[in-house]
Amino acid sequence: MSTEQTNPAPGNSSARPPDGSNVTDALKKWTAVLTLAAIAGVVLICVVMFQRYLPRVENGNTDTGPGAGPVIAGDGPWGQLEYVSIVISPPLEYAVEIADDFSTGVVWHFPGVTLAGLSNLLKEISLEAPLREKLLSLAKTNTSLGGMSIYPPKEFVLSLSSESRSGLYVVLCSYMENGDHQKQFAFRGSSTNQWFAGSAVSPKTRELVEPLIYQRRGFMYFADLRSIADSVRPRGELLRLVKALSSEATFIVYLKVSAESDLESLVHYWGRGDRAQEVRPILESLVQKGGDQRINILHLLPPLPRRKLYTYQAYSDSDIKQWRDCNWTAVNFFHEVPDDRFCNPGEVVNALRKDYYQINDKGHLGDIAIVLDSNNRSVHAGVYIADDIFFHRCGPGSSAPWTLARGKDLVNYYPRKQSVTIRYYRRKDL
């Protein structure tokens, strides 16, 4: 084979030496490689920055309000958690029970309170003098209560200012006899747009409802359905309103797992209640899979919360099931088959004395939190899950779902004039 090279003709500017052509091709290849490397670097930086700036919080400070984006909580013995806010509402069929419960007029009870005592009570909540005088003029002695009752006309109820409504209704909520206020609708948030987001409630109905909503400590409350039910038509609109008012802001929690996760620590924490053999397979599989994995903690909970979380009690169920409240939920947390004896508050007290001991603070899955008012009466209860997460149910009935809540929401869900404290209990056999 000849090794002779052909020189370009003199004056032919378009000619290129063979070695120059090779250099150009090489430069093109290296340019493409460097471009791809640069793009990959930018993508990697974006991923890292996204992980870095995805909201992270210290334990107990998680923002899980309606509309909040995913939030990653700090590590703990439970692992690393990610919160995703959601809003749930009951099936429309469940609204029937509530909508049919407002056939009588409004009445406000003050058991064990004299007329003079009622006057002082109204002064304590800073109601204006004309409003106090009007309320006292409507008050009547109720011998069955050993106190006073007020039968306000609808127009009077609707005319209350938000500030007066808030002060007065918080007092009414402290008496068990005031059912509308004991079971008032509540929503964690600061805007009625959050409460009615995605609902089919008409603008006309919202204009009727929203002036009657009052706010306290991060919650919105509505207790005046009895005063407006006749004005909400057709009946389907009333049912849609009840469904929307019964919605609740909560969150889904994911456990983030990777090859670097401490499998034994996770099994020890989430397997509490003699359930290590139940949670180990799924946690082990996620660790072995490698990469960044996550699992809804719903799958790591005992049978009862696993079945009940994000659900509502069917209104057609037996009468006893309608009394499955926060206390029933707390004491039955680890039970394979729930015990309806705990629909009776007395049985709950007996169980806490016999099967639990008091602790200084929550720390383990299944610890019970009892919220007490200034008179040492139980206001609410929940079960500690992890981080600042509690499993609870706000009252019995078909409008109250089982959800997850933060510690401060557990305390503030029921509006109270007095301060409250939390007492924690742990099962003796755990």
The number of angstroms, rounded, from the C-alpha of 1 to the middle of its chain's C-alpha atoms is 84
- Structural domain contains residue 107: no
Tell me, yes or no, whether 298 and 343 share the same domain: yes
**Residue 84 φ/ψ, nearest 5 degrees:** -130, 120
Percent residues over pLDDT 70 in the chain: 82
**DSSP type of residue 298:** G
Higher local confidence (pLDDT), 18 or 374 = 374
Domain end position, chosen among 53, 71, 101:
53
pTM of the predicted model as reported, rounded to 2 decimal places: 0.81
* Model confidence pLDDT, tens digit, residues 381-425: 999 999 999 999 988 877 889 999 999 999 888 887 778 899 999
Percent residues over pLDDT 90 in the chain: 68
Tell me, yes or no, whether 35 and 78 share the same domain: no
Cα–Cα–Cα angle for 66, 68, 70, rounded to 5 degrees: 130
Tell me, yes or no, whether 343 and 391 share the same domain: yes
Structural domains of the chain, count: 2
- Structural domain contains residue 279: yes
- Structural domain contains residue 372: yes
With beta carbons less than 8 A apart as the criterion, state whether 297 and 385 touch. Answer: yes
- Alpha-carbon dihedral sign for residues 321, 322, 328, 334: positive
- Structural domain contains residue 210: no
Tell me, yes or no, whether 342 and 364 share the same domain: yes
- Structural domain contains residue 197: no
Q: Which pLDDT belongs to residue 99?
A: 79
**Residue 381 φ/ψ, nearest 5 degrees:** -150, 155
- How far is 41 from 249, CA to CA, in rounded Å? 40
Tokens representing residue 270 in the block = 């989430």
Tell me, yes or no, whether 401 and 367 share the same domain: yes
Domain end position, chosen among 7, 28, 53:
53
User: Which H helix or E strand runs over 269?
Assistant: helix 263-270
Q: How confident is the model at residue 15 (pLDDT cuts 50, 70, 90)?
A: very low
- Structural domain contains residue 284: yes
Show the domain range for 27.
20-53
Cα–Cα–Cα angle for 235, 172, 311, rounded to 5 degrees: 50
Domain end position, chosen among 53, 76, 101:
53
- Structural domain contains residue 376: yes
Average pLDDT rounded to a whole number, residues 242-262 = 95
* Model confidence pLDDT, tens digit, residues 29-67: 555 545 555 554 443 444 334 343 344 444 444 556 665
Q: At what angle do helices 263-270 and 276-289 cross, to 10 degrees?
A: 150
Tell me, yes or no, whether 375 and 318 share the same domain: yes
* Model confidence pLDDT, tens digit, residues 91-103: 998 888 777 777 6
Tell me, yes or no, whether 28 and 85 share the same domain: no
- Structural domain contains residue 67: yes
| Residue closest to 113 by CA, chosen among 174, 164, 161 | 174
Q: Which pLDDT belongs to residue 38?
A: 53
Query: How many C-beta atoms surround the C-beta of residue 226 within 10 A?
Result: 18
Tell me, yes or no, whether 355 and 404 share the same domain: yes
Tell me, yes or no, whether 254 and 273 share the same domain: yes
Which residues make beta-bridge pairs with 71?
83
**Residue 338 φ/ψ, nearest 5 degrees:** -65, 145
